[in-house]
Structure 1
């Protein structure tokens, strides 16, 4: 079974806060990687996706969105407490999409372009939820102060709790989005049928 999927990467060591002052100062880096498929008809292309698409669990995906989020942090002890004074995120989002390895007949090429545009738009939604999660991390932890923490160790435990919930919520939102898109009458289902059926 083929399915669109988002694969998430959020290192435990990267769980940290982000100051409001820097909210508008960062942007994610977005990359596109491709994997080769073959075929001269919509059905052949879709079968090749099934054979060559990225492995996600026990299935292969049409495309997926992966990310790496790390932070440079400045924790400071203040009057026996610990405060996260500043943090700078680095968010890299990578979209993996199929790409035909040889030129397509003109009619198939047009259908392929419609299919690829729709799949790309789907993955961009996943990318937007990842950026939204990073913004929510910022809002949930900015200025976080933990009393009686002069070595700034307790604050990390507290942030891990907060950020775990945000990460889980983002993952669930992505799964729900995929379920709708691939369900009966969903956008991805329509794109697949149009590609396979030639229109």
Structure 2
């Protein structure tokens, strides 16, 4: 097996979209309580917001004599950020508090999006130019690729878990955003 060619700059762009779920309330505490009732499932529990993605690939496995190489590895990535959104008009002081809260939550979710984009780039960098000798039917190369994808995915999941642990623990950024919203107007 030869080392994969480095793929320089990304030749792809993700599609990023924001979806919302409706909540209601007239105070920060009521809005947060509504989030608890309507929040999406994520990581085995409920989450204020969630970052999900759909990833598909166009890959060309090309027999080259007795070897096989990946000559095309183009991702199509759709990242969806799901955020709460008040369904009614908020009083100015509550609206200002909500804006600070949701801006911070969205910033947090976009870090998860960056982790996903980094993962996809790592996959592309590894895939493009990957060559496995003694694989004229392009079967061994798929096993090599699958093993590496598992390693990369596991590392990305660990990075997300650690990021959430820091952000959501007492004193963490998201924890502070929650306290500010709940204790505000």
Give the shorter-chain TM-score range: over 0.9
Aligned to 2:74: 88
The 8 Å contact of residues 65 and 94 in structure 1, kept in 2 or not, is answered as yes
1:132 aligns to 2:118 (yes or no):
yes
Q: TM-score, normalised by structure 2?
A: 0.94
Question: Please, what is the CA RMSD of the aligned residues?
Answer: 1.6
User: Hey, what does 1:98 align to over in structure 2?
Assistant: 84
Q: How does 1:24-63 map to 2 (within 5 A)?
A: 24-56=10-42, 58-63=44-49
Alignment partner, residue 177 of structure 1: 163
Cα distance per residue 1:11-30 (max 9 Å; x no partner): xxxxxx99726x43211100
Further displaced range: 70-79 or 23-32: 23-32
CA deviation vs aligned residue, 1:121-174 (integer Å, no higher than 9, x gap): 000000000001111112223311111111111110110000100001001100
Moved more, 133-142 or 168-177: 133-142
Q: What is the rounded CA distance, in whole Å, between the counterparts of 1:18 and 1:122 in structure 2?
A: 33
Decide which of 1, 4, 7 is 1:20's aligned counterpart: 7
CA gap 1:26/1:154 in 2 versus in 1, 3 angstroms: same
Unpaired runs of at least 5, structure 1: 1-16
Task: Report if aligned partners of 2:48, 2:84 keep a CA contact under 8 Å in 1.
Answer: yes
User: Is residue 109 of structure 2 the alignment partner of residue 162 of structure 1?
Assistant: no
Aligned equivalent of 1:123: 109
Whether contact under 8 Å (1:18, 1:87) holds in the other structure is no
**C-alpha distance in 2 between matches for 1:52 and 1:19:** 44
Give the aligned length. 182
Q: Does structure 2 conserve the Cα–Cα contact (< 8 Å) formed by 1:18 and 1:89?
A: no
Residue 64 of structure 1 aligns with which residue?
50
For the 8 Å contact 2:75–2:124, the answer to whether it is kept is: no
- TM-score (structure 1 length as normaliser): 0.87
- Deviation above 4 Å: which 4+ runs of structure 1? none
How far the C-alpha of 1:57 sits from its partner, in A, is 5.1
